[in-house]
Amino acid sequence: MSTGPRFSIVIPTRNRPRTLPFTLRTCLNQDFDDFEIVVADNCSEPPVAQSIADVPERVRIVRSEAPLALSDNWESAVSHSRGEFVTVVGDDDGLLPGALANADRLIRKFAADVVTSVQAMYLWPDTPGPSAGRLAIPVMRPTVVGSPQHLIGQVAAFRLPYARLPMLYNSFVRRDVLERLRSRMGRLFADPIADVFSGFAVAWAARMCVQNGEPLGVAGLSSTSNGIATLYPQKGGVDPAEFDQLNRRAGLSWNPAVPAIRALAAVAAHSFQQAADRLFAGDRRFQLDEAAFVEGCVRELKSLEPRDWEHDIAALKDWAARRPVAAKALAKAIAANPNVPGPFDPLPNLGFDRHNRALILDTKAFGVSDVASAAALCESIFRFRTRPEAWAPEVEKSDARNPRPALFGIAKP
């Protein structure tokens, strides 16, 4: 039986003094007392302890004296946590005010070892592209209860985005699930893409998962997000070369079975293959849909600059050359998706998005300029904290044959 707090909120961070205080504010603004916050400072300059005034008692800061690969920093961060349930919150993301109370309620109600949710998405004002400042709040989605293993096959077939996996980045995961994975693999994050890999791993290891129909957190995208920097290196504040160098030093590399290109479909395929190699090799329930993979890649790549397009399409063609089904699908996808460079625009339309069941707002009209005020706006509109389940009244059982519709065409890496 756990002797630590009910929840551990783990925040890995590196050189983000501008966004981190707002993330911390959302984590502390909870109407639930039994939790700790572990901030894993990955050799930031200045150190996090110097850049945050009046660190609350429930916040512990652990610091590495040399820069670590992202996955190694996550590994260290989670190892310092003591809670019965663990979640990882990015340092430009946030929790909604009722996140811990609602997670605890769902854990008790369904005897769950994982509680996950589709997050709201907030684009900080400095995010590249015309969607900067927008907020998407998912609503009217049922709560789904059952084993999460079927999600592995759905994501590998590209019928669901990887954000629907029970990643530590969007979930509260019971410690014994994490220990089971650590004993199997020797570590939790056996992949340079820590969040997506954790989604496949937790989905494989967990027995009872609640996919909450209402958001529990806010996924933030900013100019310094790792995902922006990796996929759009000319626009991000993080150095992709350092990211790669630290991974090589840690012995973490891209899976050779998947082409290394700048597409979220490739991120999903790579992490799936890493998890398959480590956890479920040979399980015929989980197969990468190669045709859907190349189609998804081309749809994303069409907005790259011509030079980047040519490089990544050539890599896809080389990969598909020995795979007739993939090669045929690739040729068709290229014909249907000509290279049309354009701005990064994950939330192009304002108003209610019926397909994604999300309300998309321009937060500048509400005076919102950070993830903490974005989280407060979510709560002020929908009252997720004070009216639990008001916007997600149904409960369904997991069904691999009838997955819920996807939320958003992209997911945050």
Tell me the per-residue pLDDT of 68-100, one tens digit each, with 9 for 90 and over: 999 999 999 999 999 999 999 999 999 999 999
**pLDDT of residue 233 exceeding 60:** no
pLDDT given at position 347: 85
Which of 105-109, 185-189, 329-333, 405-409 is least confident?
405-409
pLDDT given at position 9: 98
Confidence of residue 237 (pLDDT cuts 50, 70, 90): low
Residue 35 lies in a domain: yes
Q: What is the mean pLDDT of residues 351-378?
A: 94
pTM for the model: 0.91
Per the model's pLDDT, the better-predicted residue between 226 and 291 turns out to be 291
DSSP-based three-state secondary structure for 164? helix
d(CA 351, CA 91): 28
Digit-coded pLDDT (tens) for 141-181: 888 999 999 999 999 999 999 999 999 999 999 999 999 99
Residue 288 lies in a domain: no
**pLDDT of residue 368 exceeding 90:** yes
Nearest to 99 by CA among 175, 37, 36, 171: 171
Helix (H) or strand (E) holding 219: strand 217-221
Which of 12-26, 48-62, 156-170, 322-336 is least confident?
48-62
- C-beta contacts of 233-236 below 8 A and 24+ residues apart: 235/128, 235/344
247-256 burial code (b ≥16 CB/10 A, e <16): beebebebbe
Domains identified in the chain, total number: 1
pLDDT given at position 408: 36
What residues pair up with 219 in beta bridges, in sequence order?
121
C-beta of residue 91 within 8 angstroms of C-beta of residue 10 = no
pLDDT given at position 342: 78
The verdict on whether omega for the bond into residue 46 sits within 30 degrees of 0, i.e. cis, is yes
Residue 393 lies in a domain: yes
**Which range has the top average pLDDT, 1-15, 147-161, 330-344?**
147-161
pLDDT given at position 412: 30
pLDDT given at position 52: 81
Average pLDDT, the chain: 88
pLDDT given at position 273: 96
C-beta of residue 166 within 8 angstroms of C-beta of residue 210 = no
pLDDT given at position 354: 87
What residues pair up with 212 in beta bridges, in sequence order?
117
Residue 297 lies in a domain: no
DSSP-based three-state secondary structure for 65? coil
CATH number, domain of 211, equals 3.90.550.10
CA-CA distances (angstroms) from residue 201 to 165, 271, 279, 323?
A: 9, 10, 7, 27
Residue 406 lies in a domain: no
Q: What is the mean pLDDT of residues 222-231?
A: 71
Residue 366 lies in a domain: yes
Helix (H) or strand (E) holding 184: helix 175-185
Domain that holds residue 116: 7-225+347-397
d(CA 115, CA 177): 12
pLDDT given at position 411: 31
pLDDT given at position 397: 60
Residue 304 lies in a domain: no
pLDDT given at position 89: 97
Q: What is the mean pLDDT of residues 116-141?
A: 91
Q: Using a pLDDT cut of 70, give the percent of the chain over it.
A: 90
**pLDDT of residue 286 exceeding 70:** yes
pLDDT given at position 228: 67
230 φ, ψ (degrees, to nearest 5)? -75, -45
Residue 302 lies in a domain: no
DSSP-based three-state secondary structure for 151? helix
C-beta of residue 182 within 8 angstroms of C-beta of residue 189 = no
Q: What is the mean pLDDT of residues 222-249?
A: 71
